[in-house]
Amino acid sequence: MGIHLRWHRQEGRVLIMPIKRLALLLAVGLATPAWAADDTAALREELRRLAERIESLERQNRELEKALVTDRISEREPEVATRIKYVESQVDSLKGPTRKLTEALDGVKVGGSLTAIVQHAGKQDTASNRVESRTGYRGDITVSLPVGSMGSSEGTFFTHMRLGQGEGVGLRPTYTSTPNTLVFQKGEGADDSFAILAQAWYQLKIPLNDVARKEDAREHLYVTVGKIDPFVFFDQNAVADDESTKFVNNVFVHNPLLDSGGDTGADAYGFQPGVILRYANSRQKGGEWGLSIGAFSSDTGANFSGSNRASFVIGQAELNTRLSYLPGMVRLYAWRNSRARDYDGVLQHHAGWGISANQKVLDSLTLFGRYGHRTEGKAMFDRALTLGFEQEGTPWRRSADSLGLAIGTLRTGQAFHDDTLASVDYAASGHEKLAELYYRYKLNGAVDLTPHFQWIVRPGGDGGAGTIRVVGLRARLGF
């Protein structure tokens, strides 16, 4: 009869299997009767050879274990040990570059979006007295990476590239500035469009608490310097602050006195060089607050073609609020620009103050409001009030969707009223009134579609002008 011995290598150990079967064979051999003496002798010889084989395997196993104790490769070692060590050395050689790459990418954030929009206005609404349907797109790419930390202070570099084409519909004169804040076109014409470096700034985050770990600090000072969009740091709002996902009319995106009214003095695309200091206090959960002050170059200094002195200065106080444990935020700010321009193009001092607030009142409903008040300078309008809400789609089982509605009013400035008595066919007066309605439909995790409708009543303060209506559709791909 034949006897087979199976063995396996597991974690550098040699296992003899199965032992019980070997014991059974020994027992059978001892119990063999005399008349089977020849078979017993053969069995004993087979067992002897198996015992020698087992001893040889155990010796090889001891040699393998001894060789694997050290990483040194020797030609006297078993071949299998040499191969194992070679594979391990190759794996170790890959760990270094992989670890360095992982450490280099730690904290790097990349974001981007491509937003397309089409809008339509009737001939009674446009400056050309023709029906206009205009399409356009805008692309944004942002990169944020940690650089230049000092001790417990953390440094971050942020850069933003922007490109696009399309100028949008051309409306009759309004205070609104534009019904399409997404408009972006760089170059002499549509065929000459190219990308620009929109923002490039460095920020140093400095913990002010003496704690063992910097993560435990509850007070920080932020120092930011570079080419900046001021509205990233001032006049923010959770509901009305992003034309690529929420309201698209310029009046509802930022404080109209600063943006449409031009009091920031930014370049043609809304950016300018400056420096910002911000103190943030998060000692009380839900009651975080902060103070910020920014100084920017405006007018010709904004596009680096003139003096870079700090002519636009803005300060802001912000406070987190709670309403029945639902979060909100209130921001109060004031500004002064020594190089702003009146509606007639004359350089003049402008100053004013404003407030921006947003508050959740239900888990799926957030209200917002803004008010702006100009105290110095001549402009077409000197007061601005916007109110609205964003309702998430949870009640109708579309939690990623949202419905937004905003209304606003821009009050005609007294100086502009007086000047229009002699310069145009009507005397500007009263309030330009606006409204925008949108529904954002989340197609998937990266794409959403947003039809919207806008009304502008008494455009440009002209009581005899008809209501302007604009309809549109926005599509956004973001990551």
pLDDT per residue of the chain (479 residues) written in tens, 0 to 9: 444 444 344 444 444 445 555 555 555 555 555 555 677 888 888 888 888 888 888 877 777 777 666 666 666 667 666 767 667 777 766 766 656 555 556 789 999 999 999 999 999 999 999 999 999 999 999 999 999 877 889 999 999 999 999 989 999 999 998 999 999 887 667 777 788 999 999 999 999 987 777 777 899 999 999 999 999 999 999 999 999 999 999 999 999 999 989 999 999 899 999 999 999 999 998 899 999 999 999 999 999 988 888 899 999 999 999 998 999 999 999 999 999 999 988 999 999 999 999 999 999 999 999 999 999 999 999 999 999 999 999 999 999 999 999 999 999 999 999 888 877 778 899 999 999 999 999 999 999 999 999 999 999 999 999 999 999 999 999 98
75's tokens: 């030609």
CA distance 317 to 372: 15
The pLDDT value given to residue 329: 97
The pLDDT value given to residue 213: 77
Q: Are 264 and 372 in contact (CB under 8 A)?
A: no
CA distance 147 to 143: 12
116's tokens: 């397309």
The pLDDT value given to residue 3: 43
**Does the model's pTM come out above 0.85?**
no
Q: Are 259 and 231 in contact (CB under 8 A)?
A: yes
Closest CA to 240 of 114, 353, 329: 329
Distances (CA, A) of 151 to 56, 193, 240: 61, 44, 38
The pLDDT value given to residue 167: 87
Pseudo-torsion of CA 303, 304, 306, 312, nearest 10°?
60
Strands 326-341 and 347-362 turn out to be antiparallel
CA distance 249 to 388: 13
Distances (CA, A) of 268 to 204, 263, 300, 321: 28, 13, 10, 35
Distances (CA, A) of 409 to 35, 45, 254, 369: 118, 108, 14, 12
408's tokens: 């606003």
Distances (CA, A) of 403 to 181, 343, 386, 469: 19, 35, 17, 19
CA distance 50 to 371: 95
Query: Which run of H or E residues covers position 46?
Result: helix 37-68
End-to-end Cα separation, the chain, in angstroms: 71
